[in-house]
Structure 1
Amino acid sequence: MRENVDRAHHPPGTLDDYLALRRHVVGYRPCQDMIERVSGYEIPAFLRHQSALQTLGELCTDLIVLSNDISSLEKEQARGEGMNAVLLLARTAGVSPRAALDQVDALASRLAEGFPAAAARVRDLADHLHLTPGRGDVLDRWIDANRNWLGAHNRRACDIPRFGPPAVRPCATRSCRRGRAAAPVPRRGRGGRPGRSPPVRTGR
């Protein structure tokens, strides 16, 4: 509801404002809860509110938002909508849609490149908080779930008709063609030893 009202009457004034809004309305957050339920684990409340988990969750959410906006750019241009990171940046920065697309694409790249370091900070909590092996493994599973979701989302975005206007292939932008997603993060067992499961590669 809030997003629909903002689309019509109160569009965000900056890209930061836009991302702050979309973090709370994009469907990725409830999907994270769903992943825990169907996978048979749960992040304890005292871990969920750690800044390292909040930072990685926000990074993943922003990547989903930017990927959606890049993929749906032509649809929203055709409809005359402005609730799109590329179109908002073009309007507020006074640049062309192509230049704005380049900037949003670069931001998505920086976020993806920051995934391994953000994930490592989450894993460091296991040692910092002296977690039991079971709770440390929960963190690994949560990181893997987020990484795998990003990879699957970016692969599927090229094939979802709702992202494109009629007669326009939705994966016309180069980010979608490349299938951008977070770089794979090697699993790590307790004490820094390699984990049993190999990383799932999310790029093409």
Structure 2
Amino acid sequence: MASTATCTTTCSDSELTEFIIPDFFSDFRYPMRLNPHCDVVSRACEEWLCSEAHLVEPQKTRYTSLLPGYFASSCYPDADAFHLKVCADFLGWSFTVDDWLEIERSDVNDAWEIRDCCMSAYRDPVNFQTDRYTGRMCKSYVYVLRHAHILYHLTVFRYFGRYRETGGPGCTERFIHAMDLWFISAAKEVDNRAKGHINDVESYIELRRDLSGCKSCFALIEFANQIDLPEEVVSHPVIKAMEEATNDFVSWSNDIFSYNQEQSHNSTHNLVAVLMLDQGLDLQGAIDRCGQLCRISLQRFEENRAVLPSWGEEIDKDVAIYVLGLQNWIAGPLQWTFTSARYFGKDAQIVKRERTVKLLPKRPS
């Protein structure tokens, strides 16, 4: 999802024309679910994103084809329409900011300015003023939605203003903190790219766990389900281990899916590329190793679920909702990957069925 220094391809790798992705579906144990409000929220989210991010073609088609509403519906299948819309808007906003930092930014100072702008908007979404659309999209305006030939004039708030309407104090602060971690890691990645620095496996994993964006999305599990877990729960080692396992599965599977596009841009910010460079694996060996790490992540998730402690009947109900939310975040991105055009374009269903990815040609550096 993000990129860094130029990768030197070995002679044997340059002769490859395709690779095989792991079989994620044959023995996948979690159901693929979809929120019943998916269609109407998806349309509203696309209109909001195009308007607020000032998207014109071809960017408009590019970002609406990423289906942020479907992504949110896959990851938050039990949310009501209001909470699902906030999650969808956040994910749509994340796509644009992530790509903007990844592709268009090489100045780390600019990356830090984006962080300062957005964090100020999170801290005071009503009064904070900015000309940056990345910050404005955290604030508020009047929205007009057409559905079934009926116009609905909805006075709503940009996603974080709406988040604050119902989000509990704990999950609100967790969301803000997680976003700060994301912006800090994004700035570090921009700096790495500018300096030509390539991570080793250990440092890449540490950076990727913040840069994946999963931590803020986990806070949205609480928001979407209208719960607010106590600190003694969210800080417990078992809960932390389950979050990390979920984060790792999402990150490593995403690195497999995004590798082809990233290698075509000569990017090494991807576990597949890092394994090839740091451990001397060939491309298929690195893909297979990533697949193994995904399976290990699922094992860790289930091992920790089996030893969840009890905090009492009422809190345990909310914990069960949160754990189910983590499970949905394992299944949801997988479902969305092969529905959207993010990584495989119009061939997503073919890749899902046949598991073969044809390598794209490298672009000039």
TM norm structure 1 = 0.75
Name which of 208, 229, 236 aligns with 1:43.
229
> Deviations along 1:60-108, whole A, 9 cap, x unmatched?
1111110110111111111110000011101111121111111111111
Aligned residue for 2:205?
19
RMSD: 2.4
Tell me by how many angstroms 1:35 deviates: 1.5
Q: Identify if the C-alpha distance between structure 1 residues 46 and 144 changes in structure 2 by more than 3 Å, giving closer, same or farther.
A: same
After TM superposition, the runs of 4+ consecutive aligned structure 1 residues lying more than 3 A away are 166-177
Aligned residue for 2:257?
71
Q: Which consecutive residues of structure 1, in runs of 5 or more, have no partner in the other structure?
A: 178-204
- State how many pairs are aligned: 169
Name which of 172, 185, 193 aligns with 1:7.
193
Name which of 243, 254, 262 aligns with 1:57.
243
Name which of 132, 153, 156 aligns with 2:312.
132
Q: Which has the higher strand share?
A: 2
> Deviations along 1:112-141, whole A, 9 cap, x unmatched?
1232111122x2x10xxxx22011111111
CA contact (8 A) 2:272 2:283 kept: yes
CA contact (8 A) 1:67 1:176 kept: no
Tell me by how many angstroms 1:57 deviates: 0.7
> Deviations along 1:24-61, whole A, 9 cap, x unmatched?
12111111111101211112112111111111111111
Q: Which consecutive residues of structure 2, in runs of 5 or more, have no partner in the other structure?
A: 1-186, 357-365
Name which of 114, 133, 142 aligns with 2:300.
114
CA contact (8 A) 2:340 2:348 kept: no
Aligned residue for 2:51?
none
Higher relative contact order (CA 8 A, sep 6+): 2
Aligned residue for 1:86?
272
Aligned residue for 1:153?
333
CA contact (8 A) 2:261 2:343 kept: yes
Measured in 2, the distance between the counterparts of 1:91 and 1:173 equals 27
- State the structure with more CA Rg: 2
Tell me by how many angstroms 1:169 deviates: 4.7
Aligned residue for 2:290?
104
Quick one: which amino acid aligns to residue 241 of structure 2?
Answer: T
Measured in 2, the distance between the counterparts of 1:154 and 1:168 equals 15
CA contact (8 A) 2:253 2:294 kept: yes
CA contact (8 A) 1:71 1:176 kept: no
CA contact (8 A) 2:255 2:272 kept: yes
Measured in 2, the distance between the counterparts of 1:116 and 1:92 equals 30
Quick one: which amino acid aligns to residue 109 of structure 1?
Answer: R
Quick one: which amino acid aligns to residue 144 of structure 1?
Answer: L
Quick one: which amino acid aligns to residue 224 of structure 2?
Answer: V
Measured in 1, the distance between the counterparts of 2:240 and 2:232 equals 12
TM norm structure 2 = 0.43
Quick one: which amino acid aligns to residue 312 of structure 2?
Answer: T
Q: Identify if the C-alpha distance between structure 1 residues 117 and 27 changes in structure 2 by more than 3 Å, giving closer, same or farther.
A: same
Q: Identify if the C-alpha distance between structure 1 residues 156 and 171 changes in structure 2 by more than 3 Å, giving closer, same or farther.
A: farther
CA contact (8 A) 2:246 2:326 kept: yes
Measured in 2, the distance between the counterparts of 1:86 and 1:80 equals 13
What fraction of aligned residue pairs are identical, expressed as a percent?
21
Measured in 2, the distance between the counterparts of 1:55 and 1:116 equals 10
Quick one: which amino acid aligns to residue 342 of structure 2?
Answer: R
SS of alignment partner, residue 72 of structure 1: helix
Measured in 2, the distance between the counterparts of 1:171 and 1:22 equals 28
Measured in 2, the distance between the counterparts of 1:111 and 1:100 equals 16
Tell me by how many angstroms 1:18 deviates: 1.0
> Deviations along 1:148-195, whole A, 9 cap, x unmatched?
12111111112332324x786597488979xxxxxxxxxxxxxxxxxx
Q: Which has the higher helix share?
A: 1
Measured in 2, the distance between the counterparts of 1:174 and 1:8 equals 38
Quick one: which amino acid aligns to residue 149 of structure 1?
Answer: W
